[in-house]
Amino acid sequence: MATVTIYWHYFLQFLKASMVYKADFFASVFAGILSSASGLIFVLALIDGKVVPALAGWSRAEVLLIYGFSMVASGLFSMVSRNIYGFSERYIIEGEFDRVLLRPLNSLAQVVFDAFHLEGLGTAIFGAVIVSIFARDAGLRFSPATCLWLVLAAISGAVILMSVFVILAATAFHFEDRIGIAPPFYNLITFARYPAEVYSRRMQFFLSFIVPFAFTSFYPVAVLLGKGEYAWLGWFTPLVALCCALLAGAFWRFGVSRYMSTGS
């Protein structure tokens, strides 16, 4: 419990520092909303309900439901991934990981809670709004069970994304590179914002079982919509998140065990 309190104070300190300039804080959140809105405009233009009324058999409302839900999960992930994305340059090459190891706290938690990406909050909020707007047209009716699944699946999706990028960040312990290998995988997140059927079988397999980004939005929404052929896989979303988290923890611990100080 004491450890959780410490991490909570990490967040409070960052929030206090951010709120010193309140205009910047709210501008960051608003920037996240605008960025998400630009992507939504593209989807609305792609599926206008007349010329292209559906996408791979998924209606306009269903596609937008997947898109909105993906933004909730990716927004939550974005809030806590700031240092993970730039881990190699800041912590390995610049030597800040030595400071982390001097503290009697979990090294990964220290890296994660040392800074936050406020724009992610705006993305998550905007995604939740999109889900609420298009849920009825997609045939989704909110109930306590539905809301519980939405929360559980969104958190699970964020955990999956975080786990993948922790694994990628852990490679920096073995191969020092300022940019790292995360950027190409970061672009793959957008693939999860559309029905898996728009991709080839190989790509569907890749997004489901190699880099399981499809479990961050497509499969959980398939559960809600009762898409039988995909819904059964969607129920495994929390389990996939747990497995990814355990694997990421193992990769991180192995990387830390091989870490050599900068000596500076």
Which residues face 59 on adjacent strands? 54
Domain locations in the chain?
Answer: 2-12+21-257
Task: State the amino acid at position 138 in one-letter form.
Answer: A
What's the average model confidence in pLDDT over 92-107? Answer: 84
- 4: pLDDT strictly greater than 60: yes
Cβ neighbours of residue 146 closer than 8 Å, sequence gap 6 or more: 140, 224
d(CA 117, CA 89): 17
Predicted TM-score (pTM) above 0.85: yes
pLDDT value at 181 more than 90: no
Confidence of residue 247 (pLDDT cuts 50, 70, 90): very high
Q: What is the enclosing helix (H) or strand (E) of 171?
A: none
In whole angstroms, what is the distance from residue 3 CA to residue 27 CA?
32
- pLDDT exceeds 90 at position 98: no
Please give the torsion angle defined by the CA atoms of residues 26, 27, 29 and 30, in that order, rounded to the nearest 10 degrees: 120
168 and 182 in contact (C-beta within 8 Å)? yes
Task: Report residue 253's pLDDT band, with 50, 70 and 90 as the boundaries.
Answer: very high
Helix (H) or strand (E) holding 85: helix 82-85
pLDDT at 3: 61
- Return mean pLDDT, the chain: 83
pLDDT for 96 equals: 84
C-beta of residue 53 within 8 angstroms of C-beta of residue 59: yes
Mean pLDDT of 176-180: 67
pLDDT-derived band of residue 182, with 50, 70 and 90 as boundaries?
confident
Does the pLDDT at position 10 exceed 80?
no
Q: Where does 136-227 have alpha helices with state H?
A: 144-170, 182-188, 201-205, 218-225
Give the whole-angstrom CA distance, residue 39 versus residue 3: 39
What gap in Å lies between CA 40 and CA 37, rounded to an integer?
5
Residues recorded for the chain: 264
Buried b (16+ CB within 10 A) or exposed e, 69-103: bbbbbbbbbbbbbbbbbbbbbbbbeeebbeebeee
